[in-house]
Amino acid sequence: MPAPHVSRVWALYRRILLLHRVLPPDLKALGDQYVKDEFRRHKTVGSDEAQRFLQEWEMYAAVLWQQTNENRQNSPEKAYFGTTLSEEKLNDFRDEQIGQLRELMQEATKPSRQFSITEPTNPKV
């Protein structure tokens, strides 16, 4: 029998991908790939880490939902997505997470904003 949080994880994953549909195409592609990688990477974490993972992604979904509603009132050129990370939150990150965040920031702020999104080479059976 699956763990009780599995349905919560799947519902959150689907909700985030649905929310990403409102993003500009290049940010949607980057966001979708990042979410897929992160959820895949955290499949086998312990209970405490899983709870924190879910909390953070639920906050992300809530912020994205709020920004989507606010952006509906503005013109598309003025759409804003994202938030500033507090120094406290940054200090909680491991070196690996800081590296991932730096890579994500570099991709998201590229002038041409053309991403090379690749799917895993192993087809699902």
Task: Read off the pLDDT of residues 67-83 as tens digits, 9 standing for 90 and up.
Answer: 988 887 776 667 778 78
Residue 4 CA to its chain's centroid (Å): 22
Q: Is the pLDDT of residue 119 over 80?
A: no
Asked if 22 contacts 65 with a C-beta cutoff of 8 angstroms, the reply is no
Q: Is the pLDDT of residue 1 over 50?
A: no
Region of 48 on the Ramachandran plot (φ > 0 left; ψ -120 to 50 alpha; else beta):
alpha
Distances (CA, A) of 81 to 10, 60, 64, 108: 23, 11, 7, 11
- Rounded distance between C-alpha atoms, residue 44 and residue 49, angstroms: 10
Mean pLDDT along residues 89-94? 85
Task: Read off the pLDDT of residues 4-54 as tens digits, 9 standing for 90 and up.
Answer: 667 888 999 999 999 999 888 888 999 999 999 999 998 888 888 888 899
